[in-house]
Chain A
Amino acid sequence: MTAVAVTSGAAERVPDRRPPLGVRLSALVLPVFTGLAVLYLFLPIAVMIAFSFNDPAGRQNITWQGFTLENYATIWGRPDVTGPMVNSLIVAVVATLISTVLGTLIGMALTRYEFRGRNGLNLLIFVPMATPEIIMGASLLSLFVSFGVQRDLTTIVIAHVMFNISFVVVTVRARIAGFNRSLEEAAMDLGADEWATFRRVTFPLIFPGILAAALLAFALSIDDYVITSFVAGRSITFPLWVFGVSRLGVPPEVNVLGTLIFVVALLFIAVQIWSQQRAVRADPAPRPAAR
């Protein structure tokens, strides 16, 4: 308390507008806490990257043995690693294409048209996002078993499109809802028909939203373990492979692939930020308020 008394005494002589020490310290608490929380979020990532360069003695990659780049070199020649990765990429690309098209169409229906059954559709889109994955996986397995459907990459794609659609709708919808309808009206006033307006005005404007939705769908698809484990049959995707080998101890290959995926994601984000900034610089005119 003396410290506070001294500062306030000083304030009488010099007009010092700095708040007392206690307030300044408490103002530091939140930023410091947030900084620590961010560090906590990155801890497993740091560990993953560090141990991708580890040179473990056996299969147990849990203590630091020595630095090596070998893990990054050997991984490409191992079909047991690359096979599931290729499967995951095929599934993710196909599921992303289908779900982006279907979800974008629903997003447009929801934002630009009035129709009966709107609440029902909203619920049909929301409930899958809020359903635990294990239940979606179990119910799809019930369906495929009951109808004697062979489970392979096709059933994985069916499942991935299903859980992706909702996320695409929500992402695209947010983008369409934020845009200025008068631009379309202007195009129509200048003699463009509906299709030309869509192609030349609407689509370019909502394209960033569609791209973001597609990236999200791809990320969700390539990462999915739970639902895939139910509908995969004998096919193995990357997460299924990781889970399988991790039962015997996590080999460094898992960390290598995790690190590579992380780096690719970073590159995507960097490109997106860069293209956004370029768009802002190319169009320095003041924009209408976002809201």
Chain B
Amino acid sequence: MTRRWRWVVPYLFLIPGGLWLLAFFVVPMLVMASVSLQEGSLGTGYTLTWNFGIYPEMAQQWAPQFGRSLLYALIVTGLTVAVGYPMAYTIAFRGGRYKNILLLLVILPFFTAYIIRTLAWKLILADNGFFLGSLKDIGILDAGFRLIATPIAVISGLTYNFLPFMVLPLYVALEKIDPRLIEAATDLYASRLQAFLRVTLPLSMPGVFAGSLLTFIPAIGDFINSEILGSRDTTMIGQIIQRLFLNNNAYPEAAAIGFTLMAGVLALIFVYARAVGADELTRG
């Protein structure tokens, strides 16, 4: 190939995959936006009427589900930090030669299907299942005590399912920290707590941000956990989108809710990309 045409090479490499993403990710988003502004029914067909009114209408009608999804996702993100940070810290600084094995143990459970893991939690939390049943039999728990179909069940299911998304980026961030920086802090008479708060914690913040994004976003759109572990009182916005689309064929309504959620997520990503830089996003 002559030198003149060398600039074409990268484009030849990225065009097939890039086109696939354009055609089946970007275009569908635009189509969904357009569907949300259409009116009509499956029988009579849909016409684009630029019905922007549907957005405030949907936001109002499903406000409790939007709010609940946001609340659950925030709680889940907080819980995964609370559980995941000490885990990642221990593996990174105390793991020694067992680091890789410990990391493997963290991701190993996630080699089973998502749905089957969640169904296993349903079994564990079941009213008269193996665990609660036994506790009730020996009188530790009241016979009426239940976890399944409560917000606690949904939140604990979400926390379980997204914990590795928090632990792995936290581990990567903590592993990178030069231990000599922490030694320097203690040599300069910082207590261990001070050294942690002033050196380790700030240096690990990129991991906290990345993990939070990777946990919060799937959590706010999730509907498996609430569908399997929850009840009508735990309905999340993902379930509403799915039902309106697949059961009610209410395409414009479902598309409007979906696009609202997407807009919120995109806003989050752009704030994040500004903070860390776009190249860093795909570095993994």
Contacts and interface: CB of A to CB of B under 8 A. Distances in A.
A57 interface: no
A109 interface: yes
Most buried by B among A42, A110, A138, A255: A138
A146 B112 contact: no
B203 interface: no
Interface in A243-276: 243, 246, 250, 254-255, 257-258, 261-262, 265-266, 269
A101 B111 CA distance: 23
Interface string B244-280: 0110000100110010011001100100010000110
Interface in B88-147: 89-91, 94, 102, 104-106, 108-109, 111-117, 119-124, 126, 128-130, 133
A135 interface: yes
A33 interface: yes
Contact of A44 (B11, B20, B160, B217): B160
A138 B28 CA distance: 9
A93 interface: no
A41 interface: yes
A142 B14 contact: no
A40 B32 CA distance: 40
Contacts of B126: 62
Given A44-B124, A45-B109, A269-B104, A142 B32 contact: yes
Contact of B119 (A43, A106, A134, A250): A250
B219 to A, nearest CB: 9
Q: Secondary structure at chain B's binding surface: helix, strand, loop or mixed?
A: helix
Most buried by A among B34, B130, B258, B279: B258
B10 interface: yes
A182 interface: no
A239 B113 contact: yes
A221 B260 CA distance: 27
B39 interface: no
Interface residues of B, number: 86
Contacts of B262: 131-132, 135, 139
B56 interface: no
Given A63-B128, A145-B251, A229-B246, A124 B26 contact: yes
A123 interface: yes
Interface of A: 30-31, 33-34, 37-38, 40-45, 47-48, 51, 61-64, 101-103, 105-106, 108-110, 113-115, 118-119, 121-128, 130-143, 145-146, 158-159, 161-162, 165-166, 169-171, 173-174, 177, 219, 222-223, 225-226, 229-230, 238-239, 242-243, 246, 250, 254-255, 257-258, 261-262, 265-266, 269
17 contacts: A30-B94, A31-B90, A33-B86, A37-B86, A38-B105, A44-B109, A48-B120, A109-B14, A113-B9, A125-B282, A131-B217, A138-B255, A139-B258, A162-B21, A229-B242, A230-B245, A238-B113
Q: Which 6 A-B pairs have the closest CB atoms?
A: A132-B221, A102-B17, A44-B120, A265-B111, A113-B10, A139-B28
